[in-house]
Amino acid sequence: MFEGFDISLTSVVLPYVGSDFGITTPALGRAVAAIAAGSIVAVFLIRLADRFGRRPILLIAAGGFSIGSLLTVLAPDIESYVAIQFVTRMLMVSLVSLAYLVVSETLPPPLRGRANGLLGAVASMGAALPFLMLKPALETEMGWRLLFVVGSAPLIILPLLFIRVKETPVWAEMQASNNNRITMRTEFVQLVTSKFRQRFAAMSALWFIINFASAAGTVFFTYYVTQERGWSTTELMAIAPLSLLGAFIGYIGAGALADWIGRRPTIASFLFLYGVLTLICYSAEDSAVITASFVGLQAMLGLWMICFTLNSELFPTELRAAANGWSHNMVGRWGAVVAPLLLGELSALLGGTASAAMALAVVPWLGIPLILFALPETKAIRLDEQP
């Protein structure tokens, strides 16, 4: 839940960070891109989960991102804000990747999609909270920084995670066979062998498209509605319950659909709708239409959960965390870096964030041929077997 809170927080406070630090829209785009680059560096932490286990790396990431959120409160300028959030993003991305991995490796195939859907739905609850809390926070002396204090709350529940989270059975079995001492170079060589090359390349491209589309469609939303549609913080608060409901239904629905009709048709459908809803959201003038389409975009983010599940099912245990790190973080997360950079520059060129977002709305459609023709269906696969 707090991972969802902190990820959402970056976009919610964007116009107020820009105002406090006195920077332009293109400069904000560069700042968001630099923070997103922390997602790429996360590969070096995620891959350690194949060597040392899922549990210890997950605990380090959970504690680390909470401390990073708290330290953000002290940032005196945009440079320090970006630096702290860069490290915090690295830890947050590692946390969510390992959380989905732990659930995928713990539960049987008939439950895996729905369980990960529930995990994503809880994250969506956290993602809605910054919208609800923004106005009260801005009325305090701390302003937007108060929200980052809230984002550090997982420090309180860290002892519970330490006690309750266990190592996954499939990793423990692999550890017993002493088959997990491989280098990054060896990992990459194995991922590009004929057995895994096509799925590795396709997943990397798919992750790039999803990261790009998600950033282009949501990161500048608060900036867009406050600066270009004249929304108040009260209107932002009003959208939060609807956004929460949409995201919750989207994640739960995505998990159920993925287990019912399969991973590929579910992802393809969500990608198509994401592009359509982005066009509607950023072209609309009416608040009700903007709200409805944004709620729809939140629901479509359920495709993240399906892709995490799919990524886990495509590769064997000894390469599973590494494959996620290489395809999602090392390659795919560049989409979250490129999108805000491009959106910031295009907004200056085209005369606004809305025009820039509409120009980039076609990107999710590029992932439909990839998922339908370059990747296998995996909904019934057992993770203790080679794919």
Q: What is the DSSP string of 195-225?
A: TTHHHHHHHHHHHHHHHHHHIIIIITHHHHH
The structure's pTM equals 0.78
Q: Write the DSSP symbol of residue 329.
A: I
What whole-number distance in Å separates Cα of residue 190 and Cα of residue 197? Answer: 9
pLDDT at 200: 93
Of 51-65, 79-93, 165-179, 241-255, which gets the smallest average pLDDT?
165-179
Residue ranges in 261-361 assigned as alpha helix (H): 263-283, 287-300, 302-313, 317-324, 334-350, 353-359
Would you state the structure tokens that stand for residue 3, as one six-digit string? 């991972």
Q: Is the pLDDT of residue 178 over 70?
A: no
Contact 307, 207 (CB under 8 A): yes
Q: Report the interhelical angle of 14-21 vs 2-12 (nearest 10°).
A: 50
Q: Is the pLDDT of residue 43 over 70?
A: yes
Read out DSSP for 263-291? HHHHHHHHHHHHHHHHHHHHH--SHHHHH
pLDDT at 180: 52
pLDDT at 342: 93
Closest by CA position to 365, among listed 275, 283, 270, 281: 275
Per-residue pLDDT tens for 158-174?
899 889 888 888 888 77
Q: What is the dihedral of CA 41, 198, 100, 255, to 10 degrees?
A: 140
CB atoms closer than 10 angstroms to residue 287? 15
pLDDT at 75: 93
Contact 336, 220 (CB under 8 A): no
CA distances from residue 24 to 5, 28, 144, 352 in whole angstroms, order as listed: 25, 6, 18, 12
Q: Is the pLDDT of residue 190 over 60?
A: yes
Per-residue pLDDT tens for 2-28?
888 888 888 889 889 999 999 888 899
What whole-number distance in Å separates Cα of residue 12 and Cα of residue 308? Answer: 25
Residues 142-149 have a mean pLDDT of: 94
SS3 content of the chain, % helix, strand, coil (to 5): 80, 0, 20
pLDDT band at 383 (very low <50, low <70, confident <90, very high): low
Contact 32, 12 (CB under 8 A): no
Domain ranges of the chain: 2-373
Q: Is the pLDDT of residue 324 over 90?
A: no
What whole-number distance in Å separates Cα of residue 39 and Cα of residue 92? Answer: 8
Per-residue pLDDT tens for 288-320?
999 999 999 989 988 888 888 888 888 887 777
Per-residue pLDDT tens for 74-95?
999 999 999 999 999 999 988 8
CATH of domain 2-373: 1.20.1250.20
DSSP H or E stretch at residue 382? none
